[in-house]
Amino acid sequence: LTGTSREQRAFQYLLMHAIPGDPHHILQTFDQWCYHCEHLSCVGPDKGRIVERVLSERAPLRVLELGTYCGYGTVLLAQGLPPGAHLYTIEGDPRHAAVAEKVIRLAGFSEQTVELIVGPSEEVIPRLREKHGLMNADLVFMDHWKRCYLRDLQLLESHQLLAEGATILADNVLFPGAPHFLQYAKTCGKYHCKVHRAKLEY
């Protein structure tokens, strides 16, 4: 009825209530909106703690996020990066990317720290090295279309974009589920797998 999307309405709420340049408060305000106003498919605070723990343990310098959406996960990742680290985030929907860009900058992250790349992941991944300078990623966070998880993991492998000992963190592999991705990760012999049990966001 308003003529604006849920994502745009959430951003307007952030503008009114969040503290610019404070990533933690940006995420808290996002959570307030999602709990009390409208549901958005963001990582949320419960699963966010898992992401924060992995970031703390791994201290990755080159991070790749597949599925920026509104920028919630991007801000979550960016605030946990060590000094000098760089985050590349890919979003296929230009409308979502337009909102995410504003959210990321509102949180205080420059293009030197967070680079938002708009386009289908299957087209962007093969040119990450040549066009965007990503030699290989220490951590990959997958939170886009579940049917793309396996394809994009294999694309990263074939283009040698995974650093030795890289961590792949994939959201919602049980529900709504990415069974082919999960089977491959468990049986191909390249990965040690761990499933983190968590509640659905909000």
Q: Which residues are catalytic?
A: 143, 146, 171-172, 201
Query: Hey, how many other C-beta atoms are within 10 angstroms of the C-beta on 87?
Result: 24
Say whether the peptide bond before residue 179 is cis (omega within 30 degrees of 0): no
Q: Are 6 and 96 in contact (CB under 8 A)?
A: no
- Secondary element (H or E) of residue 163: strand 162-170
Task: Give 46's contacts (C-beta < 8 A, 6+ positions apart).
Answer: 198, 199, 201
